[in-house]
Structure 1
Amino acid sequence: MIVLRNIHKTFSDTTAPVHVLRGISLSIGAGDMVAVMGASGSGKTTLMQIMGGLDIPSSGEVSIGGHRIDLLQEHEITRVRNREIGFVFQFHHLLNDFTACENIFLPGLIAHTPLKKARRRAKELLKTLGVVGRDNHYPSELSGGEKQRIALGRALFNEPTVVIADEPTGNLDRENTEKFLHLLRELNKNTGQTVVIATHDYEVARAMDYCLVLQNGILEKKDVPYENV
């Protein structure tokens, strides 16, 4: 599903190049639930962006759903990304002037989905996510947990094969974190979607199938995340 081969990522600096990712190779299979951990500044976000086609490596191969992203033009990458990947971030990034339902079906409007069909799909997702009755509420009228579930619904609208979540529970309390994880597990169980989640939370990581730990730009696979990794 996601295959990286010998990925390097280097950023230019005023004094010397900054090597963020060093020779990373990994394969994440269909239906896997994977945590990515590492200290702040370790390159987790850069790695997630490369896995999701939001960034390209300085060198190496990136395959998403069988497509060699590193060989495609930008418009081709965008097409693959919109079809294969759903993104959830630490901050929900909902549009304040749009209702919960409208925020969810926004990707459908971008993809020219008929409005009636898009609204029906959004309402189905609201039910799945346990946010029934909040269709016409604006973000300012929703709780933090509800906002993040709406953001998840937006990520799921186009039925992606992979959900990439970068610190999605970072602003949630323990109760809402558990609700969010429960939703991810149910979606994975019912649809077989691959889930890759970057997190600082060891409880979140333990809910995944396995953990990838980023240290000095190198990934190590860990079956169980411990606090001393």
Structure 2
Amino acid sequence: MKILIVEDEAELRTVMQSFLEKEQYMIETAIDYASGLAKLANYHYDCILLDVMLPGGTGMQLLGALRRLGKDDSVIIISAKDAVEDKVQGLELGADDYLAKPFHLAELLARIKTVIRRKNQQIAQAICFKNVRLFPEDRKLLVGEQEVALNRKEYDLLYYFLIRPEKLIPKTTLAEAVWGDDADQADSLDFIYSQIKNLRKKLKENSAAIDFQAVYGVGYKLV
């Protein structure tokens, strides 16, 4: 699961990032309106933690821009002001929740889990394709009735393909979606081939009716 923190207060941003990474979330950050807008426009996130007051603009403006882009990423507004009008404005713009500063990290985690669970339930209890079922809330994969163990990246990769079956996904898009900012530091995208090879082996060993089709020089599709 990938989370974006848009927060200009360095200490709070670092504390949230460290805490959520320990909870096994992949975290990206933005420190102002411009960098936040660039992230929102180019990437998908399971949850966005959005501060209201930012250099160069506001979190409300970013939320409005996100919805105008047609994206339905879950958003939790974080604000130093616990004003009713701010809550109403955020919810009217499409925020999923509102959290006033200061807050306990345990409460933040609970809010994140709730909005992600709610979104997954709206999509489906399970993502199904042929004889494969993926349960996002439990991070569980079933092939037929057999549970298949996946590591974190294998799960994230398969999830990304299963919600886009038979669609060609460029390797650069996969790297950005599953590996985030870490992908920019790689000399090549060979690590994608390695992960897909391992995932394909597990699927084949368990008689999955799905497979990855490589399109030379472009990327992969789930068929």
The reply to whether TM is greater than 0.5 is no
What is the TM-score normalised by the length of structure 2? Answer: 0.31
What is the TM-score normalised by the length of structure 1? Answer: 0.31
Q: Which has a greater percent of helix?
A: 2
